[in-house]
Amino acid sequence: MPPLLQLKGLVKRFPGVQALRGVDFELANSEVHALVGENGAGKSTLIKVIAGVHRPDEGSYRIDGADADIHDPRQAMAAGIRVVYQELELVPDLSVAENVFFGRLPAKGGRVDWSRLHADTRDALAQVGLNIDPRTLIRRLGIGPQQLVEIARALSQTARVLILDEPTSALSPTEIDRLFGLLRRLRRDVGIIYVSHKLEEITSLSDRVTVLRDGQLVGTHPTAELDEQRIIQLMVGRELTDAFPHMHRAHGEPVLEVEDLTTGRVQDVSLQVRAGEVVGLSGLMGAGRTELLRAIIGADRRRAGRVQVADRELGANSTTKARKLGLGLVPEDRRGHGIFADMSVLHNATIASLAQFAHAGWLRIRNREEMEVAGCVVERMAVRTPSLAQAVALLSGGNQQKVLLARWLLKRDLKVLLVDEPTRGIDVGARFEIYKLIDELADEGLAVLVVSSEMEEILGLCDRIYVMKEGAITAEFDRADADQESLLSAAL
Amino acid sequence: MIPNRLVHRLLHAEQTGLFLALALLCIVIGSLTPVFFTAVNLANVLRDAALVAIAAIGMVMIILQGEIDLSVGSTQAVVGIVAVYLLNTTESVALALLLSLCVGAAIGVVNGLLVTRAQINSLIATLGMMAILRGTAMVSTGAVSIQAKVDGFVEVGTGHLGPIPVPVLMAAVLFAAFWFVLHHTPFGRYIYAIGGNREAAELAGLPVQRIKVTVFVIGAMLASLSAFILASRLNSGQPNAGLGFELQVIAAVVLGGISLTGGIGTLVGALIGVLILTVLNNGLVLLNVSSFYHDIARGFVIILAVYLDTRRRRSLARRQAGH
């Protein structure tokens, strides 16, 4: 029997990037086929080619062994290909039922047949194990149920291929279990393509794994022949023997001293970070960690407390003063709060240190010097960009994060670096590069304060850890005394 | 090598399309009326354009940082009146100019503080200022224009330096200076950054509020300079001067490709935008088209230009989204 989907020699170019360089991909009937690769490896492009969103520049596309001319999402839909994208495509102000049957509401005599719609929706929801009223507005659902509604929508029409792009990123453990149960049942009738960064999901769920790297096919292997370590190696193309760089740092004087800091969302926080030290802020989402970082640099109004950087008082609520005293923040929301999407890599990198490159600090910018110095830092951080003039929006998440780190490294008198979720949405390979970099920076004498929701990251990277809960610090651990359990119990 | 690169850059420059549109417009009008390409008429076009261009430089910076200023038209009236009043009392053109610019700066400070400190949306804040200033102009003069009584004042707006009209010279110098500021100083870079992502600018420690106020001040001072030139051309201060001027300026700037959401656009584009609207106006006058049609024509041009620009941006965004 010919494979359900067979794509050969796919090439897709975008201005400035070649997203796919001759990729082959096959999906058999009744299999769960995992698609993995670092960000920017070409997974999204491949999915979009399969879904008819992108038309490949070269290559063939066969369904059941017959040439298929799919260059439009509607043709892909007609062929039974359903995609659940990571960014949900539901209409928040319509009901669950209207979303599931969006564009094909059952009609009777020119009017919507509501009773049939709701009955059909109940059936569709039952299939994904979701027991909610079809009349509920999408807006009122959490991300997890929304994800399931989206899957129900995909399955409510005859599906032959189901593509799931990072479906579990917003799901709770119970919801994940339920989803996996569903996928195992569906596998009998549907070919499933499963994109994920979570390796344990891939090894437990999939039959085969296809690995992409830099737009090329690294290989397709039966999952039984692989383990997590091996998948990582295939993804990054090198051995990652030690996930976290190991460090024996000498700590200096306290550089960042916070005393009784209080804002709207932060209660009486005192902490210090010494030169050469990496300190972690652990805690649950909403514990006030991001708000604490904002409070330290003066982005939120301070009600009480003091912040000192190298014995100099950071007085008013001014991020400019914080920058001048040598405080830098790499925010959690890269796109919304970090990068300037319309500006180049160079201009993004030097925006916080322009005074160093300008005559008298504010007159003409010495362009050549700016290029040279920024070029060195960008190179040191291994930012993968065709040039410094590239628009930063065109880089992958990991590379954008490196540009944001570069922004502060370029500042000559930087003393304290605050990093909020350093590796959120960043693939494995770039993660380790960022860990290594943070480690090196501390070695060079910087004081680093890291917020992270990933226990492993906090435990692997930090010398000392504070745990926050409801805006206040509830515990402090030395690296040696902390483990996942102790951190979690302090956070709960 | 160099010509090749130059050709490539020209072909890919954002302003090439606009420039071609301007050239086409000139050719069409020139072929319909021979008067258009005479030296006298071209000097007139440039003189008219200079008035808008000077104010447009400020508007470019204000829109780039993601704000807008609707009060420039009323500023023209108030500053024109103040200028003529000061001129008549001090009998010094220089002093009158200096004080007029100070009045402009004060208006800019108020605009800037309303937007940054009071956190009022700039559209509303400057709309309010527009009404207040226009009303002030009317009240202070009893809605009657005041005549300038100093010889030489009229030279500011109508004089020449060699073959070049004085306002054109001023516009050219200011254009070059602010082009440099926008593209070669930290201040210019910050304006783009603030308009591109205000929150990120704040967290990166840029002095967002100070820059915003400064840009409003610069914008109002440039509008005041253009008011001074207008008053000199009219040899009087008129309470209804600059009616609709703010829209003329904003239209030219938007036509030139400055995005109203901030952070995108160049001074060169805006200059071409100013020239297109001025040439269009001039052409319609030469062709004896009733002035009521001028507004209609301008409206069409603006909508068309912004439509084309939106389409271009969308196709660019689509290409980026593929990544």
CA distance A106 to chain B (A): 33
As beta bridge partners, residue A331 has: none
B277 close to B252: Cβ distance less than 8 angstroms: yes
**Parallel, antiparallel, or unpaired for β A161-165 and A81-84?**
parallel
Strand, helix or coil for residue A304: strand
Q: Report, as an integer, the average pLDDT of A341-365.
A: 88
For residue A65, what pLDDT is reported?
Answer: 84
Quickly state the pLDDT bin for A328 (edges 50, 70, 90). very high
- Considering only CB atoms, B322 lies closest to which of A45, A352, A393, namely A45
- For B79-93, the pLDDT digits (tens) are 999 999 999 888 888
For residue B323, what pLDDT is reported?
Answer: 43
**Average pLDDT value for chain A:** 85
A54 touches chain B (CB under 8 A): yes
CA distance A273 to chain B (A): 20
- B189 and A338 in contact by Cβ < 8 A? no
- B203 and A341 in contact by Cβ < 8 A? no
Interface mutation vs chain B, best among A47, A319, A350, most B CBs within 10 Å: A319
- For B7-56, the pLDDT digits (tens) are 666 555 667 778 888 999 999 999 998 888 988 899 889 999 999 999 99
Q: Report, as an integer, the average pLDDT of A318-329.
A: 90
For residue A240, what pLDDT is reported?
Answer: 47
**Average pLDDT value for chain B:** 88
- For A404-462, the pLDDT digits (tens) are 999 998 888 899 999 998 887 777 777 888 888 888 888 888 999 999 877 778 888 89
For residue A78, what pLDDT is reported?
Answer: 86
- Considering only CB atoms, A337 lies closest to which of B184, B187, B200, namely B200
A32 touches chain B (CB under 8 A): no
- State the Cα–Cα distance between residues B99 and B87, nearest whole angstrom: 10
* Cα distances (angstroms) measured from residue B76 to each of B72, B126, B240: 6, 14, 9
Q: Is the pLDDT of residue A395 over 60?
A: yes
Quickly state the pLDDT bin for B183 (edges 50, 70, 90). very high
- For A68-98, the pLDDT digits (tens) are 888 888 888 888 898 888 767 788 888 999 8
SS3 content of chain A, % helix, strand, coil (to 5): 35, 25, 40
CA-based nearest residue in chain A for residue B191: A351
- State the Cα–Cα distance between residues B79 and B228, nearest whole angstrom: 7
- Considering only CB atoms, B203 lies closest to which of A54, A337, A355, namely A337
A301 touches chain B (CB under 8 A): no
- Considering only CB atoms, A362 lies closest to which of B187, B197, B263, namely B187
Chain A residues near residue B264 by CB distance under 8 angstroms: 342
Strand, helix or coil for residue A258: strand
Residue A15: phi and psi, rounded to 5, are -55, 120
Considering only residues 314 to 343 of chain A, which have any Cβ-Cβ distance to chain B shorter than 8 Å? 319-320, 322-324, 327-329, 331, 336-343
- Considering only CB atoms, B322 lies closest to which of A19, A320, A340, namely A19
Chain A residues near residue B200 by CB distance under 8 angstroms: 331, 336-340
- For B43-69, the pLDDT digits (tens) are 889 999 999 999 999 999 999 999 999
Chain A residues near residue B196 by CB distance under 8 angstroms: 340-343
Instruction: List the beta strands (DSSP E) in A362-482.
Output: 416-420, 447-451, 464-469, 472-478
- A299 and B202 in contact by Cβ < 8 A? yes
- Considering only CB atoms, B206 lies closest to which of A14, A320, A394, namely A320
CA-based nearest residue in chain B for residue A359: B185
For residue B82, what pLDDT is reported?
Answer: 93
- For A191-207, the pLDDT digits (tens) are 999 988 778 888 888 99
Chain A residues near residue B186 by CB distance under 8 angstroms: 354-355, 358, 361-362, 365
Q: Report, as an integer, the average pLDDT of A137-154.
A: 82
- State the Cα–Cα distance between residues A119 and A131, nearest whole angstrom: 13
Chain B residues near residue A352 by CB distance under 8 angstroms: 204-206
Q: Scanning the structure block, which residue is given the tokens 């996942």? A: A484
Any residues with CB less than 8 A from the CB of A179 and at least 6 apart, and which?
A128, A147, A148, A151, A167, A168, A171
Highest-confidence segment of A52-61, B101-110, B254-263, B289-298: B101-110
CA distance A200 to chain B (A): 27
- Considering only CB atoms, B196 lies closest to which of A45, A299, A343, namely A343
B193 close to A351: Cβ distance less than 8 angstroms: yes
A37 close to A213: Cβ distance less than 8 angstroms: yes
Chain B residues near residue A290 by CB distance under 8 angstroms: none
CA-based nearest residue in chain B for residue A298: B203
- State the Cα–Cα distance between residues B166 and B233, nearest whole angstrom: 11
- B197 and A339 in contact by Cβ < 8 A? yes
Chain A residues near residue B119 by CB distance under 8 angstroms: none
CA distance A399 to chain B (A): 13
CA distance B36 to chain A (A): 40
For residue B210, what pLDDT is reported?
Answer: 94
A117 close to A106: Cβ distance less than 8 angstroms: yes
- Considering only CB atoms, B204 lies closest to which of A45, A352, A393, namely A352
Tokens describing residue B41: 């008429």
Residues of B with CB under 8 A from a CB of A: 180, 184-187, 189-190, 192-193, 196-197, 199-207, 210, 263-264, 319-320, 322-323
At residue A449's C-alpha, the angle toward residues A447 and A450, to 5°, is 140
Considering only residues 376 to 395 of chain A, which have any Cβ-Cβ distance to chain B shorter than 8 Å? 391, 393-394
For residue B316, what pLDDT is reported?
Answer: 61
Quickly state the pLDDT bin for A154 (edges 50, 70, 90). confident
- A340 and B203 in contact by Cβ < 8 A? no
Q: Is the pLDDT of residue B273 over 80?
A: yes
How many CB atoms neighbour CB A3 within 10 A?
Answer: 17
- State the Cα–Cα distance between residues A350 and A434, nearest whole angstrom: 19
- B189 and A355 in contact by Cβ < 8 A? no
A198 close to A35: Cβ distance less than 8 angstroms: no
- Considering only CB atoms, A320 lies closest to which of B192, B207, B323, namely B207
Quickly state the pLDDT bin for A105 (edges 50, 70, 90). confident
For residue B1, what pLDDT is reported?
Answer: 44
CA distance B263 to chain A (A): 7
Closest CA to A100 of A127, A70, A78: A127
- For A235-250, the pLDDT digits (tens) are 777 554 455 666 656 6
Tokens describing residue A418: 């605050």
Chain B residues near residue A14 by CB distance under 8 angstroms: 319, 322-323
Higher pLDDT, B191 or B291: B191
For residue B11, what pLDDT is reported?
Answer: 54
CA-based nearest residue in chain A for residue B204: A352
A363 touches chain B (CB under 8 A): yes
Q: Which DSSP letter does residue B35 get? A: G
CA distance B37 to chain A (A): 39
Chain B residues near residue A338 by CB distance under 8 angstroms: 200, 203
A133 close to A140: Cβ distance less than 8 angstroms: no
- Considering only CB atoms, B193 lies closest to which of A320, A322, A343, namely A343
Q: Report, as an integer, the average pLDDT of A38-61.
A: 85
A464 touches chain B (CB under 8 A): no
- For A10-23, the pLDDT digits (tens) are 898 876 567 888 89
Q: What is the signed CA dihedral for A37, A40, A41, A45, rounded to 10 degrees?
A: 110
